[in-house]
Homo-oligomer: A and B are copies of this chain.
Amino acid sequence: MREKVKEIRSSQVNIADAFWSRMQEKVIDVVIPFQEKVLNDEIPGVEKSHAIENFRIAAGLKTGEFYGMVFQDSDVAKWLEGAAFSLAVRPDAALEARADEIIEIIGKAQQPDGYLDTYFIIKEPEHRWQNLHECHELYCAGHMMEAAVAYYDVTGKDQLLHVVERLADAIIDRFGPEEGKEHGFPGHQEVEIGLMKLYHTTGKEKYKDMARYFLEERGKDPDYFYQEKVKRGWQHWGQYSLDQLDVSYNQAHATIYDQKEAVGHAVRALYMYTAMADLARTDGDERLYQACRTLWENIVNRKLYITGGIGGNPEGEAFSNEYELPNDMAYAETCVSIAMVFFAHRMLEMETDGAYADIMEKELYNSTVSGMQLDGKRYFYVNPLECEPGASGKLFGYKHALPVRPGWYACACCPPNLVRMITSLGKYCWDESGSTIYSHLMIGQTAKLEKAEITIETRYPWEGEAVYTVKPVTGQEFTLAIHVPYYVDLGQEETCLTVNGERINAQEILQKGYVYIRRKWADGDQVAIRFPMEVRRVYANQRVREDAGCVALMRGPVVYCFEGVDNGELIQSLRIPREAAVTPYVCEEGILKGNTLLKIEGCRMVGSEALYSEKPPVREEAVLTAIPYYAWANRGETQMRVWMLE
C-alpha cells in the first residue's frame, strides 16, 4: 500500500480545459440555479420539492406538513455540497449568502439531542431510527456530512460542520458494538462516506470508528432487516416478508469481507466500496484493501460497460450476472459511474496503479457526462449503449432506457451528483505523498499544490499532448509522477516525453502507468507528453453475448457511438470491416462543435424487403460518422449504437 497521500482540496485547482470548463459552466450556470429553484418550489411543471420548506417546518419557523420522499432532506444536502464546490470554481457572494441562510435553517431544525431528519421530526418522531432498512435517516445524514465538509473546505465556515458533528455524535450514542447500544447498519450506504470525510476534516477517530462499525456490522446477520421489522412492529414502511426480501440488493447478504461479487443496487454498492477503500487506506488495513480489490476486479473484469456504465439489471438498478451486459436494456445509472470515480480515486490513493486512473478517465469522459445534455438542461439517469426510438422508453424491457434526456425527476439523484463531480474535479487530478506529486488526469488547469504550482495545458481528450509547467514552492528535489493512459505505447517513435524540450526515455521511468520524473525543479520547467491519438478497435470478451461479432471504436478515453441522424436508418445494418479506414476530424459547427468525430469508410448491408429471405444481404459502401458517446441524444430522438457489427 502507498504511503499516506495528501488529498487535494478542490479549491486548490482552477480548471481551464477545453472539455471540462464548458461542463463546469453548465453546471454552475444551469444546474445549480435550477436545482435551487426546484428546492424552493419555484419551477412550474416540476414536481413540488418542499425540501427547504420541510426544514423550516422542522425548525418551527413555519407550520405545515412534511412533503416528499422519506429522503427529501438529501436533496438539500446534495445542493449545498455542489454549491460549495462551485464557490471554489467561481466565487459568488449572493449564492454563498443563500447557502448560509439554508444552513441556518438546518441548524434550527436540528433537535436538542442532535437528531436531524425532517421526515421523522415532523411526521413520526416516535419512529426515529427504527427502520434503517428503508427510511434513509443515515443516508441523509451522510449527505449532510459531505455537504458540511465541502462547505467548510471551500468557505472555511463551520456552522454546518458543527451540526453534522452533533448529528454524528447522536448516531454514535445510539449505534455501535457496545452493549446497550443498538446494533445495525443502513439500508442505503452513504453515511460511511460522510463519517470518513468528517474524520478527515476533524481528525476525530470516533467518526472513523463509526464508519468501520457500520461497514463491518453489515451482513454479519443477513436477517437483520427482517428482525428490525419484527422489532419495530409498525408496518406502514416495509412491505417485505423475509421470503421476498433479497438483502443482496442492500449488500447485506454477507460481511464486506465475504462479498466476492459486486451485486445488488449499484449506487448502494459503490458508495459502500468507496467508504471501504477510504477506510482501508486511512488505516492501512490490508485485509480491507483485499476486499476492495476483489470487488474492484469483479466489476472491472466482468461487470463494466465499455462506456464505464455499471448496472446491467434495471430491476433494482442493479448489477447483473457476470458478463451480462445488455446494451439496449442497460441501466448504467449516471450516479453509479460517478460513484465509480469515487471508488477508483480511493483505490488510487492506496496503490499508484494507472489502471485506477484509466477507469476514472473512462467514467469521466463517457458514462458520467453522458448524463447531461450539452446545454446542461436535461439529464439521463440511465445510459444505454443502444437506443431504438419506438422501443427505448416505451416497450417492455426498455421502458427505463429513454431515447432523449428527460428533465428533472422527483427523485433527483443524478444531476446533483454530476454537479459535485464536475465542480470538484480538481480533487481527482492530483495527490501528493512524500516527495512526489502524482498527476492522475490530463486536464487543463492551474493547481496550487504543496510542493509546486503546476499548470497543465492540453487539448486532451481530443489531442494526445499535455504540457506541465512547474513553479516549485521550495527548492527541494521532488518527483512529478504523471499518469500515462493504458493505450499509450511509450515504445512508439511518435510518442515522446520531454523535459524542457529534451526527450527522455519514458519507458525507463515508467512504473504501473506512471512516469516518474525526479529533479530539482526550476520555475518554468516544462514536462511535455505527446502521443498519437489513434482510433482503437475494441472487442468484448466472447462471454458478453450482446457484443458478439461487434466492435467498438475508441480514441483516447473517448468511446464513440453511431447515431441515426448521421448514418441514416437501420444502423444495425451498418458494418465496420476490420480494414475500414477511420479518419478523425474536428466538428466545426452545430452543437457538437469542438468534438472530434470519426469518419469511417464502412458499409451497409442491403437485404431483401421480405421479412425472411434466402437472398443474402449485399454490401454497399457507406461513409459512416461516429460521435463521442457522451454527446449522444443531443440532436433529437434517433437510433444509437456503441457496438457495431464488424
Which residues in A have some Cβ–Cβ distance to B below 8 Å?
A: 300-302, 304, 306, 313-315, 320-321, 323-324, 326, 329, 388, 390-391, 395-397, 487, 536-545, 548-549, 552, 570, 572-573, 575, 578, 605-617, 645
- Specify which of B537, B539, B616, B645 is in contact with A537 (CB 8 Å cutoff): B616
* B615 close to A324 (CB less than 8 A): no
CA of A539 to CA of B611 in the docked complex: distance in angstroms?
A: 8
* B315 close to A396 (CB less than 8 A): yes
Q: Can you list 24 pairs linking A and B with CB atoms under 8 Å apart?
A: A301-B611, A314-B397, A315-B395, A320-B395, A321-B390, A321-B391, A324-B390, A324-B391, A326-B397, A329-B396, A329-B397, A487-B614, A536-B614, A539-B608, A540-B611, A541-B608, A541-B609, A541-B610, A541-B611, A542-B607, A548-B573, A548-B605, A549-B645, A578-B616
Residues of chain B lying within 8 A (CB to CB) of residue A301? 610-611
* A538 close to B573 (CB less than 8 A): no
CA of A301 to CA of B321 in the docked complex: distance in angstroms?
A: 36
* B548 close to A396 (CB less than 8 A): no
CA of A313 to CA of B394 in the docked complex: distance in angstroms?
A: 11
* A539 close to B570 (CB less than 8 A): no
CA of A608 to CA of B538 in the docked complex: distance in angstroms?
A: 11
A295–chain B nearest beta-carbon distance, Å: 15
* A614 close to B537 (CB less than 8 A): yes
* A397 close to B395 (CB less than 8 A): no
- Specify which of B324, B326, B548, B616 is in contact with A645 (CB 8 Å cutoff): B548
Residues of chain B lying within 8 A (CB to CB) of residue A391? 320-321, 324
| CB closest chain-B residue, reference A604 | B542
CA of A82 to CA of B560 in the docked complex: distance in angstroms?
A: 57
A608–chain B nearest beta-carbon distance, Å: 7
Residues of chain B lying within 8 A (CB to CB) of residue A323? 611
| CB closest chain-B residue, reference A573 | B542
CA of A529 to CA of B456 in the docked complex: distance in angstroms?
A: 81
Residues of chain B lying within 8 A (CB to CB) of residue A609? 541
Residues of chain B lying within 8 A (CB to CB) of residue A610? 301, 541
- Specify which of B539, B606, B613 is in contact with A615 (CB 8 Å cutoff): B539
CA of A545 to CA of B564 in the docked complex: distance in angstroms?
A: 13
Which 5 residue pairs are nearest across A and B when measured between Cβ atoms?
A315-B396, A548-B572, A545-B572, A542-B573, A549-B645
Residues of chain B lying within 8 A (CB to CB) of residue A573? 542, 548
**What is the copy number of this chain in the assembly?**
2
| CB closest chain-B residue, reference A314 | B396
Residues of chain B lying within 8 A (CB to CB) of residue A539? 607-608, 612-617
Residues of chain B lying within 8 A (CB to CB) of residue A645? 548-549
* A542 close to B617 (CB less than 8 A): yes
CA of A329 to CA of B575 in the docked complex: distance in angstroms?
A: 25
* A542 close to B606 (CB less than 8 A): yes
| CB closest chain-B residue, reference A575 | B549
CA of A645 to CA of B547 in the docked complex: distance in angstroms?
A: 11
CA of A324 to CA of B394 in the docked complex: distance in angstroms?
A: 12
A616–chain B nearest beta-carbon distance, Å: 6
Residues of chain B lying within 8 A (CB to CB) of residue A606? 542
CA of A591 to CA of B544 in the docked complex: distance in angstroms?
A: 31
Residues of chain B lying within 8 A (CB to CB) of residue A614? 487, 536-539
- Specify which of B302, B538, B570 is in contact with A542 (CB 8 Å cutoff): B570
Known A-B contacts A313-B396, A315-B396, A549-B549; A538 and B324 likewise in contact (beta carbons under 8 Å) = no
Residues of chain B lying within 8 A (CB to CB) of residue A543? 570
Residues of chain B lying within 8 A (CB to CB) of residue A306? 612
- Specify which of B321, B396, B608, B611 is in contact with A395 (CB 8 Å cutoff): B321
Residues of chain B lying within 8 A (CB to CB) of residue A616? 537, 539, 578
A299–chain B nearest beta-carbon distance, Å: 10
A620–chain B nearest beta-carbon distance, Å: 11
CA of A77 to CA of B572 in the docked complex: distance in angstroms?
A: 47
* B612 close to A538 (CB less than 8 A): yes
- Specify which of B487, B549, B611 is in contact with A302 (CB 8 Å cutoff): B611
CA of A595 to CA of B301 in the docked complex: distance in angstroms?
A: 41
* A395 close to B570 (CB less than 8 A): no
Known A-B contacts A304-B611, A321-B391, A324-B395; A572 and B542 likewise in contact (beta carbons under 8 Å) = yes
- Specify which of B320, B388, B544, B548 is in contact with A545 (CB 8 Å cutoff): B388
| CB closest chain-B residue, reference A328 | B545
Residues of chain B lying within 8 A (CB to CB) of residue A613? 538-539, 541
CA of A465 to CA of B279 in the docked complex: distance in angstroms?
A: 76
CA of A616 to CA of B551 in the docked complex: distance in angstroms?
A: 9
CA of A246 to CA of B129 in the docked complex: distance in angstroms?
A: 43
| CB closest chain-B residue, reference A537 | B614
Residues of chain B lying within 8 A (CB to CB) of residue A575? 549
Known A-B contacts A397-B397, A611-B301; A605 and B542 likewise in contact (beta carbons under 8 Å) = yes
A366–chain B nearest beta-carbon distance, Å: 12
CA of A315 to CA of B399 in the docked complex: distance in angstroms?
A: 11
Residues of chain B lying within 8 A (CB to CB) of residue A537? 614, 616
Residues of chain B lying within 8 A (CB to CB) of residue A612? 306, 538-541, 552
Residue in A301, A549, A606, A609 whose Cβ sees the most chain B Cβ within 10 Å? A549
A592–chain B nearest beta-carbon distance, Å: 25
CA of A543 to CA of B608 in the docked complex: distance in angstroms?
A: 10
A609–chain B nearest beta-carbon distance, Å: 7
- Specify which of B304, B321, B326, B607 is in contact with A541 (CB 8 Å cutoff): B607
Residues of chain B lying within 8 A (CB to CB) of residue A395? 313, 315, 320-321, 324
CA of A578 to CA of B618 in the docked complex: distance in angstroms?
A: 12
